[in-house]
Amino acid sequence: MELLSYVLQQLINGLQLGAVYALIALGYTMVYGVLRLINFAHGDIFMFGAFTAYYLISKWDVPIYLVFPITMAVTALLGFLIEKIAYKPLRSAPKIALLITAVGVSLFLEYFLSLNSLFTPNYIGFPRPFEVTGYDLRLFTITNVQLIIFAVTALSLLLLYLLIYYTKYGRAMRALSHDREVASLMGIPVDGIISFTFIVGAALAGLGGILYGFAYPQINVFMGIMPGIKSFIAAVLGGIGIIHGAVLGGLIIGVSEVFVSAFISSTLRDGVIFFILFLVLLLKPSGIFGKWIDKV
């Protein structure tokens, strides 16, 4: 009984982390869908979201219901600018040049923002705008932070689902990820839709940043690197380019990371995630929900 309750408790903690990964993974998977690019800077957009929320809450006393939309708007703008400035001039360049540019953008954001006159390279305490309270449900306790994370993630997933499958923009995005050339022949404004994809993905990463700040209240300029890479792995695990795949992948990665920390060793958790990646790439590179296509 005690073991069961411990496992359930860790499962809840894992799902909390996994929900944040899922939000970041969505941006990766959408951008990969339309541009065939691993947007390495995505993890840094997530970091920027956490910092924006930090400034809004602790420096400018913005009420909590405004923190979410403002942060998402700011990160969306950042995502838009990154695409326009760094990626768009390279649209016809070799794929690897684009990938290296993405790595460059990521490094630039990290080191530029870590300047002492900006965010500084230090760890900063993230102020929660409310008290953490736990609700005892016999087998496990669930905190209000966890409830907020689950609710916000579920709501944004629902909205994203509606956006992608029931609007004109969503249909254009899906057409683009199917075949960019044919989509442009059908009159789809390719550049506009790519920008739109970056905006949506970056807004979700910003949302993930706020929630991450609530859950693990310490932020740092380099905090986006590992969650970014892990979320990308989540997207690969679920099947890159597939929305529900990214969500499932994020949850699996989050839960396995917490389980490894809880039952084996917390220093080995990153290693296990990459072990999962190797297994996926070797056994089914198209991911859990992916079709058997020639990615290899």
Partner 1 sequence: MSFFTSAKRFLLCSIIAYLILKGLFLSGFLTEYIQQIILFSFIAILTSLGLNVIYGYTGQFSLGHAGFYGIGAYTAAYLGAVFKVESIFSFLPILFLGGAAAGIVGYAVGVPILRLRDDFLAIATLGFGILVRVLLDNSDRAIEILGGSRGFIGIPKIVNLEIAFFTMVFLILVTRNLIFSRYGLFWQCIKDDELAATAFGINTARMKLMAFTYGCFLAGVGGALYAYLYSFLHPSNFDFLRSIDFLIIVIVGGMGSITGTIYAGLLWVTVIEGLRIGLPAQALEFRWVLIPIFLIMVMMWKPFGLLARRESKFLGLGKGE
How many other CB atoms are found less than 10 A from the CB of residue 85? Answer: 10
**Of 267, 291, 292, 293, the one binding partner 1 by CB under 8 A:** 267
**Of 99, 142, 163, 288, the one binding partner 1 by CB under 8 A:** 99
In angstroms, the CA 182 to CA 223 distance is: 39
Find the shortest distance in angstroms from Cβ 54 to partner 1.
Answer: 21
Q: Can you count the helices (H) and strands (E) in the chain?
A: 11, 4
* Binding pattern for the stretch 199-238 against partner 1, x by CB under 8 A and - elsewhere: --------------------------x---x--xx--x--
Find the shortest distance in angstroms from Cβ 79 to partner 1.
Answer: 17
**Of 84, 171, 270, 284, the one binding partner 1 by CB under 8 A:** 270
Locate 284 and state its tokens: 């089914």
Phi-psi region of 36 (alpha: psi -120 to 50; beta: other; left: phi over 0): left
Locate 9 and state its tokens: 């408790």
**Of 4, 66, 81, 104, the one binding partner 1 by CB under 8 A:** 104
CA atoms within 13 A on the CB side of 256: 20
* Backbone phi, psi, residue 130, to 5°: -150, 165
Beta strands in the chain (DSSP E): 124-125, 134-136, 141-143, 218-219
3-class secondary-structure state, position 135: strand
Determine, following the binding rule CB under 8 A, whether residue 130 of this chain makes contact with partner 1.
no
**Of 62, 70, 73, 100, the one binding partner 1 by CB under 8 A:** 100
Provide the residue type at 188 as one letter.
I
User: What secondary structure letter does DSSP report for 118?
Assistant: T
**Of 224, 250, 277, 290, the one binding partner 1 by CB under 8 A:** 277
In angstroms, the CA 210 to CA 46 distance is: 8
Span interacting with partner 1, options 142-150, 168-176, 182-190, 269-277, rule CB under 8 A = 269-277
Locate 62 and state its tokens: 């913005």
Find the shortest distance in angstroms from Cβ 84 to partner 1.
Answer: 13
Find the shortest distance in angstroms from Cβ 113 to partner 1.
Answer: 9
* Binding pattern for the stretch 14-53 against partner 1, x by CB under 8 A and - elsewhere: ----------------------xxx---------------
Instruction: Give me the residues that bind partner 1 (CB under 8 A), please.
Output: 36-38, 86, 89-90, 93-101, 103-108, 110-112, 114-116, 225, 229, 232-233, 236, 265, 267-268, 270-271, 274-275, 277-278, 281-282, 285, 295-296
